[in-house]
Amino acid sequence: MHNATGQNKRYITMTTKKETLTIKSQGYAQAVAVDSIYAIAQWCLANISGFPVKADIDIKAREQLYAGYRLRRNEIFKPESSVTDGGKEITVSVDVAYSYSSNEFGKLKESQPLLHKAVKEVRIATDKYCSQRYARLLQTGVAIQNEGKSRKPRAVKTVSEQCLAYCDSMEQKVKLHVGKEIENKAVLDKAMLEITIFKNKIEEILKTIK
């Protein structure tokens, strides 16, 4: 195997020996990869209850899939540096990052801040990697289930429906995101009131054009 170039220096490719890469070989490799994920998704459909509906999949099954994703991530992830922990040099691989319990990881913030930062970075990147692989697997499962089914045309929303949906989305964003950062309830209430006033004005305008 050899190291990837460019932005992916921290990853290891699966190319063996001194294989010459061509567009044709990459097309073949892609076809193999897609065929593989379809085969895996078919297995999951037969063996994982609730698959591919995210909300219906048992948490233990999801954890096992994530354990597999982390195993693969550990194979291809190349740590850039080592961190000192109690006089020892530790290379923060994926395995090392997840070897700490939640309690141990929390304590590192005070006792070993540099190690805590390194572990956190690896965990965040790995969680993103896992969630992307999981989402792709679910999408493939849905695609298999929908094979041969005729698609229903998407309902087109009216201008009124689109405007009101926009207002509702603004309201939800304020509640979910802005609300977390605003400690002063009066400020949050004012923001919600302004959205309501804006929504009412739109409704009034829409009534005049119906």
DSSP string of 103-157, one letter each residue: HHHHHHHHH-HHHHHHHHHHHHHHHHHHHHHHHHHHHHHHHHHHTTPPPPPPPPP
Indicate the angle between helix axes 102-111 and 113-146, nearest 10 degrees. 140
What's the mean per-residue pLDDT of the chain? 82
Cα–Cα distance, 48 to 35 (Å, whole number):
19
E strand or H helix at 182: none
Token readout for 79 is 């740590």
Reading the chain (210 residues) residue by residue, the pLDDT tens digits are 334 434 444 545 555 456 789 999 999 999 999 999 999 999 999 999 999 999 999 999 999 999 999 999 999 988 866 776 667 788 899 999 999 998 999 999 998 898 999 999 999 999 999 999 999 999 999 999 999 887 776 666 676 677 777 777 766 766 665 545 555 667 777 777 877 887 787 777 777 765
**Amino acid found at 24:** K
**How high is the pLDDT of residue 6?**
41
E strand or H helix at 58: none
Most distant pair of Cα atoms in the chain: their distance = 74
Confirm if 134 and 41 have CB atoms less than 8 A apart.
no
Cα–Cα distance, 139 to 34 (Å, whole number):
12
**Amino acid found at 31:** A
pTM (predicted TM-score) = 0.64
pLDDT tens digits along 45-80: 999 999 999 999 999 999 999 999 999 999 998 886
Phi, psi angles (nearest 5°) of residue 85: -135, 105
* Cβ count within 10 A of residue 142: 13
* Cβ count within 10 A of residue 141: 22
pLDDT tens digits along 81-99: 677 666 778 889 999 999 9
Where b means 16+ CB within 10 Å and e means fewer, 172-203 reads eebeeeeeeeeeeeeebeebbeebeeebeeee
